[in-house]
Amino acid sequence: MMELAGGAASRYDVAMFDEQQRKRAFTIIILTQCLGMLNYFLFQNGFYLNYFTKLGFSSATFAWLASLPSLLSGFLLLPFAFISDRVGKMKLALGGQIVIIAGLLCMMMAGWGIAHLALPMATVSLLLYCLGGSIQGSNWFALLNPIIPKEIRGRFFGRLRVTFMTVNVLFTMLITAVLKYTQSMVAFQVLLGVVFVAHILRYFTYAQIPELEREVPHRTQKPSFRKALRGIFAIPGYLQFNGYVFLLTLFTGGVPIVFGLMQKDVFGFSESGIMLVGNFYLAGSIAGCWLGGRMVDKLGTRFVLLCAHMVYGAAILGMIARPWFPWPLMTHAIICSACFSIVGAVAGVAITSEVLALIPATHKSLSTAVHMALVSWGAALAGLFVSRSVAWRVFSGEWRMLGQTFSSYDAILLIFGILVLVLLAAIGLVPKVVKKVQWLPGSGYPRV
């Protein structure tokens, strides 16, 4: 790893970190993520779609609110990462957790019966969630980098994601059972209360994650934000790879939102039906995380992402092709959602492993925040595209192709699917970092 010119030296406690402490740290990290991802997945499992519908929000409003955290995170991650490298990762992260807890309290208040305050409270909640999440996310990978040995990163992140996905599937099953029994506002509030308590517990588990590296003052003056950022952009392959990740996120980040809105507005699924599809979405993510961890360690990043492009395109365009399949609409929605989540999880493991391999020895929080900011902007722009397309009726509500009638959501999916396949031309931007080039036995494709 290269050090940035003029950067601060780092003090390492890694040499004193034995195997038993490392295993304990792994357990704490996994527990922390299991508690913290419950709120994140409320958007993906259909809970917030049902909750905001209960509050009287339109589909366009839901798409806007769903993209709001990603939009603002892109602007907040970089300055918080720079501060984190100076004042300490853990100190900042725990403050962020308190902000997240306050945001969840506001989300619960949105459903407390004051109709004209519902949208403002939900918006404030997401703003606070975005602020707290940006504070934590700005240094999360930098905090984990020295704890996780590079030779097992793919498998560890696969195990991490499998575990918290499993927890979220179980929680989604609970939500589905509750909403099948009752769709009262009290039920939504109780379920949000469970997430609220989980985040309070997360404060204490997060505090136990060891901070093995701390930036300490150098004899020379620390570089400014602009100079530190310029040094990160000079890392070979880093900016190119993150540009590729931005485009991939831009073309796929809005797909889950469209899938959810189609289930509500086009297919007419009930609340429990939407939650059922959400369950399979999360189950697919579990399978993808397990598969992705092994694929990355054995085959390398570029080959994994090449496969991901193919499956992304098949899942997105497959949803449009539903009239030509013989099974029920619910079955088709489950298959497409599960396939999309599987490939998303596989690509996520590959991208995370690649980023940890590329970051420099100093300014780790800032360097990983550049990656996370670009991912956030990609997801936010995708969500805004969906939101404005629906609100402004950019695409016809009904249009025909090959003798079948489709909706405006299908037009959006068609654009995303084509762009994902076109992006295959940019696969060369993925550097050969995680694996050196080898030849797979019996094949003509290089393993990277």
Spans of all domains in the chain: 23-218+239-447
Q: pLDDT band for position 16 (50/70/90)? A: low
Q: Are 36 and 137 in contact (CB under 8 A)?
A: no
Q: How far apart are CA 124 and CA 134, in angstroms?
A: 15
On whether the 23-218+239-447 domain is CATH 1.20.1250.20, my answer is yes
Q: Copy the structure tokens of residue 382.
A: 């995708």
Q: Copy the structure tokens of residue 373.
A: 């900011």
Q: Is the pLDDT of residue 135 over 80?
A: yes
Amino acid type, 67: S
pLDDT of residue 432: 54
- Over residues 147-191, the pLDDT tens digits come to 888 778 777 877 887 888 889 889 988 998 898 888 899 999 999
Q: Which of 242-256, 270-284, 326-340 has the lowest mean pLDDT?
A: 270-284
The pTM of the full predicted model, rounded to 2 decimals, is 0.77
Q: Does residue 107 or residue 165 have the better pLDDT? A: 107
Cα–Cα distances in Å, from 382 out to 256, 316, 378, 415? Answer: 10, 14, 6, 11
Q: Are 282 and 174 in contact (CB under 8 A)?
A: no
Q: For residue 423, what is the DSSP state?
A: G
Q: Are 317 and 411 in contact (CB under 8 A)?
A: no
Q: Which of 121-125, 141-145, 219-223, 278-282 has the lowest mean pLDDT?
A: 219-223
pLDDT of residue 215: 56
Q: How far apart are CA 271 and CA 95, in angstroms?
A: 35
pLDDT of residue 125: 95
Cβ atoms within 10 Å, residue 23: 10
Reported as half-sphere exposure (CB side, CA atoms, 13 A), residue 444 has a value of: 0
Q: How far apart are CA 192 and CA 300, in angstroms?
A: 39
Angle of the 408-422 helix axis to the 238-252 helix axis, nearest 10: 160
